[in-house]
Every structure is written in C-alpha cells, then in structure tokens.
Chains A and B, each alone.
Chain A
C-alpha cells in the first residue's frame, strides 16, 4: 500500500506543469456536484409553491430563474470538467511518454538487450494508456462520486433525518452488491482473458503453420485440440458475461429499493403519521426521490474505478521501473576524437555478459590502418559481442580498447561511433523517404551527395526505377524493398559519412544472387583504405582478410591469416573443408 501511495504521488508530480488545469477540474467537479444536488432541491421548492388552493407565481418564478442560472452553471462546469480532465490527462501522458522514450534511448544496451522488445513497447504504449484511463480520468470520477454521495446524504439529513436514515440503512446493500459483483466479474473476466489469450495463441500458431497442417494431414487432430479450448472458453466466457451483465440490473434493483423506501417513508412523514414534527411537502418529497435516483449510481462507478486505478497503479509502477534504471554514464567532459587514423588496439580485453560465465578472455589484437579483420564462426558463436565492444555498446570488464592510441572510455560516445560505419545483416529501415533513410547520419546532405552515395553503393539503379525515385516512401521494416535492396541502402548511408573504420555483417542466405554480387562489390569498394571488421560467411571474403578471428561459443579460439589457420588444422580447417566437400 505504501508503495502504491508513492507511485501515486510520483504520478501526480507529472501533472505539476498543469497545476491550473488540475485545480480547475477539481473546482469544476465540485461545482457540478453542488449544482446536481441543488437542482432537485429548488425543483422541489418550486413544486411546493403549487398547491391546489393557488399557486404563488412570484415565488415560483424566482425559483425558475434560480434554476435557469443553476442549469447554465451546471452545464458549464460539466463541460469544463471533462475538457480540463481530458487536456490534463493527455498532456501529462504525452510528457511521460516523451520522458520514457528519451530515457530508453539513453539506457545502456545491456538493459535493453536483456528485455523482450515487445515488453518495452508495451510500456510505452499500452501501459501508459492504462495510466491515462485509470489514474487520471479515474480520479476525477472518484472525486465527484464520493462528493456526490456525501453531499446527497448531507442534504437528506438537512431535509429529514428519518429519510436519511432509511437511505443509510440500505447503503451497505449497495456496497455489498457492487463489491460482490465486481469481485466475481473481475475474476471470471480475468479467466476469460487468459483463455482468449490461449485460443488466440493457438490459432495464430495453426494459421501461420497452415501449410504444415495440411501437408501432414493434421486438420482433424487440430480441430479436436481446438474444440477442447473452445469449450473451455465457452464455459468461462458465459460466466464472465453473465456476471458482468449482473451489474446493471442489480444496481437498478437496489436503486428501486432506495426509491421505494424514500417514497414510503417520505409519504408517511408528509401525512404526519410519525412523531416527526417536520412536515414534508410533496415537492420536497420529489426532491428526495430524485436524490434516491442519483444516490446509488456513484457506488457502482466507484467500485469500477477502483479496479481501474489498481491496474493503472500496476502499469505506472512498470513505467517507473524503467525510468529508475540508471542511464549511461555521462560523457560530457570526455575528449572528442576528430582525427581517427584507423588504428585500433585491443589490450588484454576481458568481457562477460553474466559475471560467472567468462566469454572473451585476454584478447589482444593490434590493427593497423587499412587492415581487414574477418570474424568467422558458426551461428550463435557471439560475433556480435565483438561489435558491441568496438562500438562501446557495452564496456569491457577489464583491459583496454584503444582507437588511435586513445582509450575509448575517455572519448565521447558520439565521436567514437562517428569513427565507424556499420552495416548489419538485419538492415534497419525506418518509415520515411529513401532520401531520409540514406541521409540518416548526415541530415544536411544535399540531394547530389545522396545520389552520389547511392551510386557508389550500387543502389542508384533500383531507386531510379521507383516512380518517386529518392522521394519514395518506405514503410516500417521496409516491406516494399527486398532484403538485398535494404542492405544496399544501408551501405549508401555509410558512403555518405566517410568513416575511417567499418563494421560489416555479411548476409547468410536468402538474397538473390545478383543483388548479392552488388552488395559484395559495394563492400569491396567501401573497404578500400579503411580499417574493416567483417562478420563473414563466404570464404571468398574471408580469404581476402589480413586477420581472421575464429569464434566458437563466444570465445575467440583461433586467430591468424588464412594460410596460417589452414596450417594449424584446427577448427577453421574443419569449417573450411566442410563447406567445399561433396556429400
């Protein structure tokens, strides 16, 4: 509970810039509740001016004028309540989102790699939505709900304590009914959600394996599995729908009981059948009846709101958990490297992702300007680890990495990363034009520069065939491009920035041969005179390199030139032979 409270307080702190809106919406809520309480009262007074013996028109008109004023005020306050809450909610939500996004972009990759990507996206999207719905809008509802209940009871006591007591006696009933149903329906609803998730997972699996299901004649046996799940869903779906549907009739029932008892007690008081000295006129009785109508509604809302708030608190603590992760250490005072000469030294580098699992141990490597270093090994051997260290996505545990004789940890990250051009196998294309995508590292590039880069990368030809050429819009993940074309675009990006060092990741397969040759050519062009690290799969590339690092299970197990490694007859020798032997 204490933690919930601090989460709430922290969330409220995000509304600070909009304190006037917050205050305004609270005032509006109070005013609108006050009006909703006063209107029935005045209406009652007005009705009581009309007795069969004659209507007091002067007083009636006074009340009507007051009513008109109240109605106008009520409408205005209701409008400002929802408009203010809405503005407050979405402005706050926008700020939390922006803060969270910025924070994630500055978190160490170690944290991000350790999280499922979908999970982080969910925190940015649905968790924050939950907060906006539950917490911010829920609070105003809660506030006006509680206010309405208290004010109604107070007015009833003011009018006649007996009626108030009659209502109070029934209050536990509405509380009980509301909480009973909410609890039940909440539970069954959760069960239904789980079942739905199961079914949708199953169906997704079967539908995407459509071809296999048919190839293996599995239609019927899948049907049987599905029927079982479907039956389970029916059972809890029915329960959840039924319990959920109980809320309205039951509230209406309690409401009707309250109404009836107010009617009976009120009428009895009115004819003086009880000892009460306070006479009750029909108009005021109708006031009480109207109160009875609006009294039970908030109970129901409040129980609903409380569940919403609970899940919103849970969602916001997930958000804050990310925000509480320490970001990368500031590098503001570090040196900016501008004259990288392409030499690189790894001295006794040790690195491990998990403390008790050694990965890279005492790696030493001296790279001269313009050398090519191939990194080879079976899939999953940890080739990306090395890239992570070079780019300083991760820091070494001990030892040093020196670029132009400078320890990378003394340099700013930006200037270090500017020294490298990186093309990964999974080409990253973002939603935007071809032009934007190529100019990613150099936003102020002219069209001529961009075209030139594309030409050098061998991408110009296919771009030129698009109807909108360089202004063609690419979708997220670049669905309208082939794998190979995407990679050519990424190479063009590098052609524009002229980095002194390169990190290239060769594609394993599934690219058509001609595009692949173009990529090879582009790689070859770009590597001229630059220090290059290549995660290589094809022997032709590997043989070209000055140094080959052979990796297996995260370790560098062999290191040397092609000829040296063959002579050694080790793992590389085996790997090399298996590719070129006949079966």
Chain B
C-alpha cells in the first residue's frame, strides 16, 4: 500500500486544509441549536426583539460561512482526489506497458483493465470521501454529544445510551446484509450469463427445440435472485425504522425527564429544544458514518489490488544495456540448448538447438500446446529463456537494448489486431516516418493493397477499436503489412493466415519470397502443412521438443508426426488406413 501514499504526498496541503474547513462547517452547525436556545430562553422570555433579530443574523451568518467553508473543502477534495487519480493512472499505464509477458500473463488483460479503471476510480472516490466525510461525520456525533453534556450534564446519559445503540443497530444490520449483497450480485451475474449463453447458442437451442428448457433455467435464476433480494430487503428495511425508533424513544425520554427538571426549575425550555435538536443531528450523522464504512472498505480492497499491480516488477529489463554491434557473419537467430518454463509449470520448450541463417525461410509445425508460439515469443524477448542461450546476429538477446532488438523484428501475431486510428497510423507503427510508397509496397506484399484502395478514404480509412470494422481476413493481411513496413531483418508469422482462403494464402507466400529483400529471415508457424512445405527448414515440435528438423521431403520419410499431420490434411481417415499414398494431381 505504501507505494500509493507516495502519490498522495503531493497533496499534503489539500489533505490538511480540506478536513479543517469541513470541521469548521461542522462546528458552525453545532452552534446553531445553541443560538436557537438563546433566542427562546433570552429573546422570547425577555421579549427582546433586537436580541432576536441579532441572533437571527448570527444564524444567517453561520449558514453563509458554513457554506463557504464547505464549498472550499469540496473544491480541495475534488482537486486532490482527481489529481491523485490522474497521476496514479498515468503511472500505472506506463508501468503496465513496461511489464513483460510473464507478468501480464499472470494478471490477465481483463484483470489489468479492471484494476486500471474501476479500482483506481474507487480509490479516487475513497480519497475524496476521506477529505469530505472522514472527519465531519464522526465529529458531529461526538460534538453533539459533548455539547449536550456541556449544556446539562445530568441529561446527557440519554445521549450516551442512544448514540451507541444506533451505532450498534447500524453495525448489526450492515454486518448481516453486506456479505449477502456480494452474493446477490453474483446471482445477478448468473442471470446475465444465462442470457448471454442462450443468445450465443440460439441456433443450437432452436435446433434441439429446447426453448422451454432454457426458459426454465432462466426462470430458476431470476426466481433465485428475486427471492434472496426480497429476503435481504426485509432485513435492510429495518435500518430506517430502527434508528427512527431509537432516536424518537430518546426524544420521548428527554421530554419525560426534561418535564420533571423544568418543573424543578433545573432546565429551561430552550435547553430542552436544543437537546432534541442535537439528537436529530446525531441520527443523521450516524447514517453517514455507516455508509462511509462501506465505502472505505471497498476503497481499501481496491487500493490493495492497484498496489499489488504497481509493486510487480518486470522480469525482463534492458537496464544498462548499450547498443550491440552486430556480427554479419553469424546466424540471424541461434537457439543454443534453450529450455523454457512458464511460471513453475513443466517445460514448454526443452533443449531446443537450431541455427537459422540470414535469408532462410523456416517453418514451425506441431499440434496445439506443442510450443510453437513459445519459440517465437523468446525472440523479441517477451520472455527470457529459462536455460540455454538465444543469440541474434551473434549477440545474446539479453545484451540488447530492447528497442534495438525489437526493431529488427516484424511480428505478425496469431490474433490479428489493429489499433484505433487510421490504416496509415497502423502502418506507421514500425516507422513513424514511413512514406506512402513504403506503406503501399508492404500492403501489396500482404495482399491488402486492393481492398484498401477500394475504400473511399484509402490509407486514411478509419480503424475502430481492435480493428473490428475489418473482417478477420482483412485484419490478418493488414497486420502482416504492418510488420513488413521498413524492411525488418526477421519476419515472424505466427499462424497468421488462418482466415485467408487458399488462393490468397498462396499469393501471399509467393509475394513474401519475391519482394522481400533476400537477406530477410522468415519464420512461419502454421497448422497447414501446405503453408510451410517449401520452407528451407521445417521444425516439427511435439510437447516442447523438436521431433523433426529438415526439409519437407526428408521429414516425410523420417518424421512420423510430420507425416501424420501432412497426411491427415490430405486424406479422409478411412483412406489413411489403406495406406496407399496416391499423389495429388496438381
């Protein structure tokens, strides 16, 4: 948590001034019943009009000064909490961007997004309330009680009984209902999730004519929810009546004993009225305290979650690295006995040793979970190898400044994703100064040129969030083009043509060979054997280990898994059993 206080320190002045002014307002508020008592006991009793008017003036003055104090405090609270939240967000944003995949995997995108949005907002709200309420509400409760004691000690026991009693009722009811609220929220989420599930599977539901069953499932969930909301509603409905009951019972008690004291000449009417007034103030303030407790416990939980994220350090750093001199004669990429584990699990890659030379095309193939994507994740140092060494242009990746290393690589990820902006702004990711000509060349190789040019705004066509205004195939081609701008030395395609039809896929592979500079190294991961068939080198992975390495023809003969993959994509299963390898006509 201490890593968050740092950002509050800047607002020390705000944090002190705000509550002070709030306190002043509260004090003025506590004076009001006293002034009223004076009006009744002195003004009315002595029939002194001037006294009444001047005391009335004091009341108005108190109201005005109170308002000024309160407004100032609200201003301070808004400045401070919003400033704090803004700075926290900007620090957090940079921090998250600096985390390696190791850490961001651990948290997960959605958790990072929630921490970033709602948790920071909650903490920000907590800071505002800290300034606005944390002092005022408890002070009003204590202050009203103390004022009552000062006014007439012998009557004050009523306050000392009533105030804790109200507090107890508040506590009991909240302790009972709070946990249920979270439970109910989950029941509500369940309703939403059934609705989403049903809409997702609308075709299946209708295909099996199971609408009735879905309806039953949904009605069970809504019944469950409404049942428990109504049940808990009966308890939380007790809150207002019970405080009402206690406070009014206390007022009645005040009247009863007050009557006797007045009869004995021990108390004035004005004093009794002031007591009643203080009692009302206490009940109002206690309700605020109760709400505050809820709010602070939420803010505290959020603060812990934000702080945890902020405290996580990136495991991949390039601190102190100087630009590396590249060795032109070394292999472009060289895996030396590389093994890798994701956070404590088994080996995702084991003893991988392979040299990839400049200008080579390398295919990587294997089933899901065989470690294909892991291999390429190591190259831009998204993760660090667990054992062994990975060299690029003759130097260990750990020696490079990250920017120099990643500049060499044009990466096309499995999930084709664009960023909001325009096509041009996306194409300039590798090089902000890329010319239209360079961009168009890349688009042409990626087979994206035609459809981009058909758009009315061409390169300036807008791209919505994550590129959702483009079809899957278009997104894939654009993300390939993005990686090709500014001639990267290494191009990595991670199963990034799955949404392309075979004809486009073929045209793309041909263009990659024909138009990229000859020294460009290409690494292609694919599920389709045909996509990598003509590579200079094919790496066959199975459960993280290399089970085949060589050209297509070699592997067909020597590698069982490769043959199995290749054949399964060519023939129907019953044909395979016949085992006659009839050549495909071309």
Contacts and interface: CB of A to CB of B under 8 A. Distances in A.
B533 A78 contact: no
A79 B241 contact: yes
Nearest to B202: A112
A431 interface: yes
Interface stretch (A194-202, A346-354, A356-364): A194-202
A26 B413 CA distance: 62
A68 B245 CA distance: 9
A386 interface: no
B63 A257 contact: yes
Contacts of A520: 568, 572-573
Contact of B98 (A120, A219, A418): A219
Given A93-B226, A205-B420, A238-B82, A64 B252 contact: yes
A540 B575 CA distance: 9
B230 A86 contact: yes
Interface string B139-161: 00000000000000000000000
Contact of B573 (A413, A497, A524, A539): A524
A440 B210 contact: yes
B222 interface: yes
Contacts of B245: 71-72, 75
Given A200-B113, A234-B86, A509-B527, A71 B498 contact: no
Given A260-B60, A271-B44, A578-B506, A510 B252 contact: no
Interface stretch (A148-156, A221-229, A460-468): A221-229
B78 interface: yes
Contacts of B196: 117, 121, 476
Most buried by A among B215, B269, B409: B269
B346 to A, nearest CB: 17
Contacts of A248: 70
A479 to B, nearest CB: 12
B223 A50 contact: no
B203 A424 contact: yes
Given A105-B215, A259-B32, A43 B244 contact: no
B233 A226 contact: no
B421 to A, nearest CB: 9
Interface in B33-67: 36, 39-40, 43-44, 47-49, 52-53, 56, 59-60, 62-64, 66-67
Contacts of B417: 208-209, 212
A180 interface: no
B36 A263 contact: yes
A456 interface: no
B211 A105 contact: yes
Contact of B82 (A64, A215, A241): A241
Interface stretch (B298-306, B433-441, B444-452, B465-473): B465-473
Interface residues of A, number: 160
Contacts of A215: 380, 382, 406, 409, 411, 413
Given A106-B211, A124-B191, A253 B66 contact: yes
Interface in B209-225: 209-211, 213-215, 218-219, 222-223, 225
B322 interface: no
Nearest to A264: B56
B281 to A, nearest CB: 10
B406 A217 contact: yes
A75 B206 contact: no
Given A267-B39, A577-B586, A241 B78 contact: yes
A397 interface: no
B199 to A, nearest CB: 5
10 contacts: A82-B236, A98-B215, A222-B97, A263-B36, A273-B49, A285-B44, A422-B207, A443-B213, A578-B503, A580-B584
Given A74-B244, A513-B367, A540-B572, 13 more contacts: A64-B255, A71-B249, A196-B117, A205-B419, A207-B116, A226-B90, A246-B71, A252-B66, A252-B67, A259-B32, A271-B47, A578-B505, A581-B586
Closest 6 CB pairs of A and B: A512-B367, A86-B233, A249-B70, A264-B56, A256-B63, A260-B59
